[in-house]
Each structure stands twice: as C-alpha cells, then as structure tokens.
Amino acid sequence: GAGVSQSPRYKVAKRGQDVALRCDPISGHVSLFWYQQALGQGPEFLTYFQNEAQLDKSGLPSDRFFAERPEGSVSTLKIQRTQKEDSAVYLCASRTQGIGFFGPGTRLTVL
Amino acid sequence: QLLEQSPQFLSIQEGENLTVYCNSSSVFSSLQWYRQEPGEGPVLLIALYKAGELTSNGRLTAQFGITRKDSFLNISASIPSDVGIYFCAGRPETSGSRLTFGEGTQLTVNP
C-alpha cells in the first residue's frame, strides 16, 4: 500500500477484555515499531521488530502486552485483560533508511 | 533520556515566524521533527544526523546542536495549515533504534 495502515481505527473494550490491534507496514520495510500515545503526550516506545525478530520489547508496560510479526510483514499488538490505564492511541511505524513512517493509529478506550 | 520541548503552546498570527526548541541531557545519534494532526500519526518534517547540521525543507529550518543534545525548528511566514502538534524525537545513542519523543508543541495560526 501507499502508507502504513492500522485497524481498527477505534476500539472500545470493557475492562478485562482482550484486544488485538493490527498494523500493515509499507511493503518491503524491514523495521517495525509500536508506540503508545496517551492524550496530550508524545508517543512512547513499546517494541521493535526487524523482520520477524522482536529485537526490543523493553517498552511493553506489562506482561499483558504482547506483539508479534510472524512473517515479517503484518504485526499484531495484543493486550490481555485490558485496564483503564491502557486507554491510548497505539501507533505503528515502519522504517526504511532511517526514516520512519507512522500509521494513523488505533484509539483504544477501555471502559 | 527525556526530551524537553518548549514552548508547550504557541499561538501566532499568519505570516509570523516561530521557533520550537528541544533539549536534553542525553546525547542522540539522530534527531527528527514531526508534525501531528488530530486523528493522524506523526509525519516526518526534517531529520538531522550530524552535530551542527542545519537543514531546510521549504519554510522549515532545523539544526542539530553541536553536542547532539539539542535542536530547534524554525517555521517562517506561517500559514493556517501549519497548525498541529510539533514533536522532536531523538534516537538515543545508547538505546538502539527506538525514538524518544518530546512532549510536543501545539501550534495555532490565526488568520
């Protein structure tokens, strides 16, 4: 595609539900990142993939957060047993030659 | 590795120039400036890679500090479509590929 796409764009979950957020990076981009952006804040790093290898997951806030990229293209960020504090915009970015391209994000609201 | 950005809010008249500042106590291997509009992901404006580097992109000019701990972004002859939130984001020297974002500067341009 022309850019990074994310789905769904909006997700409302009840506390305790599991959610899965999808990222389709730009074709051919080896590097893929997930960021979490709270309201009124800058994005914060969650995790990084190079192809299918998850090279850095130090930003994941708890073991309820899990990300995968099994075939080195599409990535899924899964949040188990969602909590209210998980409410945020989740941004995916793919990168080539040092330049990152962000998707529009998924706005997650946990009630 | 905190990136401090100033000002947090900026309201100017169309045609005026503005400067946003970003500084840290940490050294960054590269520094980038992004603009984010509501409901969208950040879009890269300028990327800086070398100490002291001065780069322009149309009406935008940015410089990476000599110590690689600070930067500024200047926008000349502002227009209403410049509105948005501007972020600086640096790649810490010690933290691999992740980006650390500043808190953002919300810009309003009054016609």
Residue A50 lies in domain: 5-110
Q: How many domains does chain B have?
A: 1
Q: Kindly report the nearest CA distance between residue A103 and chain B, in angstroms.
A: 5
Output the domain CATH number for residue A12: 2.60.40.10
Q: How many domains does chain A have?
A: 1
pLDDT digits 0-9 by tens, B25-51: 999 999 999 999 999 999 999 999 999
- The rounded Cα A23 to chain-centroid distance in angstroms is 7
Nearest CB to B47; choose among A4, A41, A99: A99
pLDDT digits 0-9 by tens, B60-97: 999 999 999 999 999 999 999 999 999 999 998 887 78
pLDDT digits 0-9 by tens, A8-48: 999 999 999 999 999 999 999 999 999 999 999 999 999 99
Q: Which residues in chain B touch residue A31, judged by CB atoms under 8 angstroms apart?
A: 97
Look at residue B93 in the predicted model and tell me its pLDDT: 87
Compute φ and ψ for A22, nearest 5 degrees: -110, 145
Output the domain CATH number for residue B26: 2.60.40.10
Residue B54 lies in domain: 4-110
Long-range contacts of B57-62 (CB under 8 A, 24+ apart): B60/B33, B62/B33
